Amino acid sequence: MKINKLSKFIIVIYIITLIFWAVFNFLSGWKSLLEGPAFNYLLTPFLVFMTVLPLIGGLIGIYNSIRWGGWKSSVGRSLLCMSLGLITWSGGMVIWNYYLFFTTISVPYPSFADVSFMLSWPLWTIGAIFLSIAAGANLGIKNLKGKVFLLIIPIIISAFSYYFLVVLARQGMVSTYDNILKTFFDLAYPIGDVVILTIAALVFGLSYKYLGGKYRIAIYFILAGFMMNYFADFTFSYTTTLGTYYNGSLSDILFVTAMALLSVGVAGFVLPDYKNKKFSIIDSNTVDNNSIFHQILVTIIKKQESVIGLSAWYEANNVSGLIIDQAHNLASFSGSGKEAIDRLVFRYEELFGKASRAVCKEAVRDLTVRMQPEEIPDSLK
């Protein structure tokens, strides 16, 4: 993944936020400070940047989602959900800052800010599930190791999380006698952390053999963001339980880092400009739709379209020897059909690695079984 201008912009905001945080804590002596120059000129800008960063990442992600086909493709759906998660998290910070700046409550937990924070969790969870399709995690489940991994990882993470988020962070207790809202969030935060970390671990563990291509690093940024968010919430829970949390503390910069990683990840899904090459117009009477190679071509492109949107047709349109008519869902080729299909599969493989090739093979399995071994393109064997 090349660091594009939008990703660089997010990184610059993160560095500025980090500087404000470091200077504030140096001057405050790592303790709460809610008045004076350090509060006005260091902590306040830090909290503003902490709010703005995920908002910018979310807006960039929504734009990228539209380019990937929005809700019509797996990648588009993933980016949309993750971006909305970033925006709702930013909304939580808006509410948090309102309490801090305009009321006498310095640590508003629980509050309506937590409602907005928690809305991001189901959105991130759904986004990670859709992302797993592009990453090839569903392919890893098909072997025995994948099935064992799918069974063991949730158990390990649940035990690990119970110890760190309940036994250690909350002193082994979840309140059942305080107000209902606090009880709900005391239960919901550990559960949400377990779900998100489990899905991130499963996506990484089940897809590492398949994931590759130009968007591999962007996916790793997203998974790292989920991991960082887990440790940020642990730190927040631990310090609020001990009564040592303050605005601008360690957990806050961990949250900022998590949001930066997620934002750079969704910003990394930039598609090239396809406008330079127009689609062809194919006379359907000139295409042998009964040809096994023509059937394989169209089947692969349509399957990839369900994963990566219209970019599947644009990528195919850039393959030498292929003639693509996206308006009529037609594809033809010149020269060898085997070689044309191999070039097409390789083109998709450049996006997400072996995961893309596996998607192609699975899509045409019913067609390749009808072919002689020597007829099957090498990329589909």
Model confidence pLDDT, tens digit, residues 136-195: 777 677 666 767 777 888 888 888 877 876 777 666 665 555 567 776 777 777 788 788
């588009």: which residue's tokens?
76
10 Å CB burial of residue 315 (0-12, 13-18, 19+) is buried
Predicted confidence at residue 228, as pLDDT, reads 94
Whether residue 117 contacts residue 237, with contact meaning beta carbons closer than 8 Å, is answered with: no
Backbone angles phi, psi at 287, to 5 degrees: -105, 130
> How far apart are alpha carbons 326 and 317 in whole angstroms?
9
User: Which amino acid is it at 141?
Assistant: I
Predicted confidence at residue 207, as pLDDT, reads 77
> How far apart are alpha carbons 359 and 106 in whole angstroms?
51
Closest to 43 measured CA to CA, from 255, 252, 247, 256: 247
> How far apart are alpha carbons 112 and 97 in whole angstroms?
12
Predicted confidence at residue 173, as pLDDT, reads 61
> How many Å is the maximal CA-CA distance in the chain?
80
Whether residue 379 contacts residue 357, with contact meaning beta carbons closer than 8 Å, is answered with: yes
Mean pLDDT in each 10-residue stretch from start to end of the chain (381 residues)? Answer: 87 98 96 91 98 98 96 96 98 97 89 93 94 80 71 82 72 60 74 84 79 90 94 85 90 98 97 80 71 93 94 94 90 90 95 92 94 93 91
Predicted confidence at residue 172, as pLDDT, reads 62
Closest to 306 measured CA to CA, from 350, 276, 274, 348: 348
Whether residue 226 contacts residue 197, with contact meaning beta carbons closer than 8 Å, is answered with: yes
Whether residue 302 contacts residue 329, with contact meaning beta carbons closer than 8 Å, is answered with: yes
